[in-house]
Amino acid sequence: MKIADIQTFCVPPRWIFIRVETDDGFVGWGESIVPKRVNAVIGAIRDLAKLIKGEDPRKIEDIWQRLYRGGFFRGGPILMTALAGIEHSLWDIKGKYYGMPVYEFFGGEVREKVRAYAWVGGDRPANIVEHARQRVRQGFTAIKMNATEELHFIDSFSKIESVVERVASIREEFGTDLGIAVDFHGRVHRAMAKVLIKELEPYRLMWIEEPLLSEHNDALPSILRETSTPIATGERLYNRWDFKQVFESRIVDIIQPDVSFTGIYEMEKLARMAEAYDVLLAPHCPNGPISLAASLQIDMCVSNVVMQEQSLGIHYNTGYNGLEQGEMYDYLVDSTELEIKDGFLYPPKGLGLGISINEDLVRDRDHRWDLRDNIWRNKDGTLAEW
């Protein structure tokens, strides 16, 4: 069996799908991300694809090592998401070839289902309690919200108060049974992060996410020693070498790698490393159905997974930044393959990644978009993290 063809598709709302076909007719699907750099991602996928046509798709680790190490310059979001999307496709093919889901290659099921959480609000949160009510009616028992809008290095305490008020309003409405995670999104600088973390302490959060930008992970111990709130990070880290310092800091409780950066096998390796440090895994996935299906393969075979992110109803899917609307279930032949029941996701029952992609619809909606950067500025005109 040889890799015969690799194609890419850009579909609404902002998803990059990869289709790999073998010379004997097996087809696998993968998903890459970084939609604001779509031309760079597609170019990287095509560069990597040229190197593996004619190769045996079952030799996944060898292909991963070659594509990661062979070009001398390695890592980073563009190369890693291109590699990850191709790698998903190869696992999908391998599972179909051997007649089993991907998680069986990593020791088989350790759970029947995994708890899922849903987003409320967006970058400009409004009516957040009503949005939380909608999520609870949908069966979710955990939600995540962005913390702040623009926040300067040192900013008004009123912005801190507005975050606390939003969290408090949800706690008052639902009590402590509803899990709440607050995502700082790397937009809170060190001086203000110390203040905000302290003010949020009484609200018993599930976790605080990306309290600092990933390039400042070395500063986490200096601001987090006094908090009892669990700390999560990792969506902008790409492999085990990036996560080394996070583990060694002994300060992070939950890692959040994205399978569309790490690939499936690398995420499994990260999960085992995390377990040795008594650290949990909550895979990052505000992405499309293929990325979620790939994440679920690891969720099912790793015991230290605590929760799974998913994109149903997320603000990115509703015509974000001028793009067409799209939803997770649009591209599935059978939407029940990724159905959320009572706040839980279940393992897809099919072979490989376990889902069937509606290829006709993918081809029909395929077009390259022009997704612009979010540019946020502080009142003094300086660029703000978003």
Query: Hunting for tokens 């409004």 — which residue is that?
Result: 126
Catalytic residues: 185, 284
CA 7 to chain CA centroid, Å, is 23
**Per-residue model confidence as pLDDT tens digits over 312-355:** 988 888 877 778 899 999 999 999 999 999 999 999 889 999 99
Predicted local confidence at residue 224, as pLDDT: 87
**CA 109 – CA 104 distance, rounded (Å):** 7
pLDDT class of 229 with cuts at 50, 70, 90:
very high
The candidate with the shortest Cα–Cα distance to 36, out of 313, 308, 320, 258, is 320
Q: For residue 121, give the amino acid letter.
A: G
In the block, which residue shows the tokens 């926040």? 151
CA distances from 207 to 99, 179, 367 (A): 38, 9, 37
Say if CB 341 and CB 347 are below 8 A apart: no
- When pLDDT is averaged across residues 163-185 and rounded to a whole number, the result is 94
- The pLDDT > 90 percentage for the chain reads 89
**What is the model's pLDDT at position 93?**
98
CA atoms within 13 A on the CB side of 308: 28
The percentage of residues in the chain with a pLDDT greater than 70, rounded to a whole number, is 99
User: What confidence tens digit (pLDDT) does each residue in 261-292 have?
Assistant: 999 999 999 999 999 999 999 999 999 999 99
Which H or E run contains 96? helix 77-98
Q: For all residues of the chain together, what is the average pLDDT?
A: 94
Taking the C-alpha atoms of residue 103 and residue 26, their distance in angstroms, rounded to an integer, is 19
**At 336, which amino acid appears?**
T
pLDDT band at 125 (very low <50, low <70, confident <90, very high): low
**CB-based contacts of 115: which residues, under 8 Å, 6+ apart?**
141, 142, 306, 307, 308, 343, 344
Strand (E) or helix (H) holding 43:
helix 38-52
